[in-house]
Amino acid sequence: MKGNTWLLLFSIACAISAKIYAEFWPGINQTLVVLGFFRKPEDLVNTAGEVVAIPDTRHCEDLHYHASSGLLFTACEDKAETRFGWFPPLANFDNPELALKSRGSIHVINAVTLESQRLEFENFNGPFLTHGIDVIDDIERPGGVYIFAVNHLPNLKSSQSEGSPKAKSQIELFYHVIGSPNIRHVRSILDPLITTPNDIFASSPTSFYVTNDHLYREHGLKRTIEELYERARWSTVINVRLGSLEDSVADATTGVYATVALRGLHNNNGLAHGRSPQEILISSPTSGMLHIGEVPLDAATSGGNITIIESMPFDSVVDNPSYFSDPFTQSSADDHSGFVLAGVTHAKDLAKNVRDPTAKDPVRVFFVKAAPRGADHPWEKHVMFEDDGSRIRSASAAVLVAIDPEAESKGGVSVKGTRKATLFVTGFWSSNVIAVKVDL
């Protein structure tokens, strides 16, 4: 070949490489940034402030604040052997026998006294492998709440037939009367569309949304691509409707009507209620995104699909979101409401640490408020809390509970005009839920 033919081929090769680079690199770079590949450990600052570790709250993945009772609800795995021996969300299926014998727990935590109370199951003896939950009021009987909880049961058939999934995850629906020491099991919910359930958004006792965080359940190239490549948008949100709750159902599949409510998000994971009954918050941890969407007012008649309105990027993992509604607002200038997002900063190490009860997984909690009118960006984001993993290992959920400015100033410490809240942070591998006082 002549010299100029080589030159032509070389130019074409360069153009193709540049095109591929321009096409793929920004997304790949963003993922590497979010997962912490470029972060040095010293980038993390321990936030000052006394951190209280709440006793008897081990490995509680999710956390919800129930404002009218002043209680936080959480589902805890309780034992390190179970969490490090069986955790389908991180593709750990080591010990199904142990999982079958394990029963996690639902706790309520008093947001003021910081006492945790383990609720006694009245009629539930099954294995309970905990993950995301949601809590909604019983509007027919004030004082009652429905609690939906993911349960990652092992699939007993997996030992028999090759290729069947190792987990047979389902949803448990419980009922609790605020102030009572007990929790009653209403029913189990199983459907072929619920495959890798992570978190729940309940619209009513008979209608809820659940995320499937992955398409691929086990370690391997496909799951790695699914996690690292932002355009591998293979996760789903499922809308589930239940027939009447009146009849006690023996079978978990009875009266369950499920449809796909949303496709096309990358690695959708945590769900939360937002600023209005219709607003749904959806996180995409490995791409560092918070999506704000809307559910229809009446899922039963409109099909229940979710519409995404806005997406907000972060430079590290954001797991279960929550919305803090400031109860002490006096004017829009004094409104401290916002989104709270917790996550691990070195997600690249999770696969390595999945069987290690002693490792540290550093955390970060973001707080996002509406920016003042006229600002360049609609949102103001800041890091509210950070830890290198020594006070809390891993973070998957955080909620804020406002401190009454009157009570605070009586202590004589508060400067007039400053507003404070208690920040609660929990993690799927944390030994305790922690509480720390923060400025809003």
Ligand X SMILES: *[C@@H]1O[C@H](CO)[C@@H](O)[C@H](O)[C@H]1NC(C)=O
Q: How far apart are CA 162 and CA 86, in angstroms?
A: 19
| Closer to ligand X by Cβ: residue 126 or 313 | 313
Q: How far is CA 264 from CA 236, 241, 249, 268, in A?
A: 7, 22, 34, 9
| Closer to ligand X by Cβ: residue 27 or 70 | 27
Neighbours of 28 (CB within 10 A): 13
Q: In 3-state terms, what secondary structure has residue 320?
A: coil
Among the listed ranges 41-49, 112-120, 256-264, 354-362, the one in contact with ligand X (CB under 6 A) is 256-264
Asked if 286 and 267 count as a contact pair (C-beta separation under 8 A), the reply is yes
Identify the residue among 69, 92, 204, 305 touching ligand X (CB under 6 A): 305
Residue-by-residue DSSP string for 157-202: GGGTSTTS-SB--EEEEEEEETT-SEEEEEEEE--TT-SSEEEEEE
| Closer to ligand X by Cβ: residue 78 or 213 | 213
CB of 260 to ligand X, least distance (A): 4
* Residue 20 binding ligand X, by CB under 6 A: no
Residue 294 class from Cβ within 10 Å (0-12 exposed, 13-18 middle, 19+ buried)?
Answer: middle
| Closer to ligand X by Cβ: residue 73 or 201 | 201
* Residue 382 binding ligand X, by CB under 6 A: no
* Residue 263 binding ligand X, by CB under 6 A: yes
Residue-wise burial string across 165-202, b where 16 or more C-beta atoms lie within 10 A, e elsewhere: bbbbbbbbbbbbebeeeebbbbbbbbbebbbbbbbbbb
| Closer to ligand X by Cβ: residue 151 or 345 | 345
Among the listed ranges 27-35, 62-70, 196-204, 275-283, the one in contact with ligand X (CB under 6 A) is 27-35
| Closer to ligand X by Cβ: residue 262 or 425 | 262
Tokens of 408: 């605070």
CB of 357 to ligand X, least distance (A): 33
CB of 263 to ligand X, least distance (A): 4
Count the residues in the chain. 440
Interface positions, 29-48, toward ligand X (CB under 6 A): 29-30, 33
* Residue 260 binding ligand X, by CB under 6 A: yes
* Residue 303 binding ligand X, by CB under 6 A: yes
CB of 30 to ligand X, least distance (A): 6
Please list, in sequence order, all residues whose beta carbon lies within 8 angstroms of the beta carbon of residue 324, skipping any fewer than 6 positions away. Answer: 336, 337, 338, 339, 340, 367, 399, 400, 402, 421
Asked if 58 and 80 count as a contact pair (C-beta separation under 8 A), the reply is yes
Among the listed ranges 28-36, 122-130, 142-150, 265-273, the one in contact with ligand X (CB under 6 A) is 28-36
Count of residues near ligand X by CB under 6 A: 8
Tokens of 264: 């096309």
CB of 26 to ligand X, least distance (A): 7
> What is the contact surface with ligand X in residues (CB under 6 A)?
29-30, 33, 260, 262-263, 303, 305
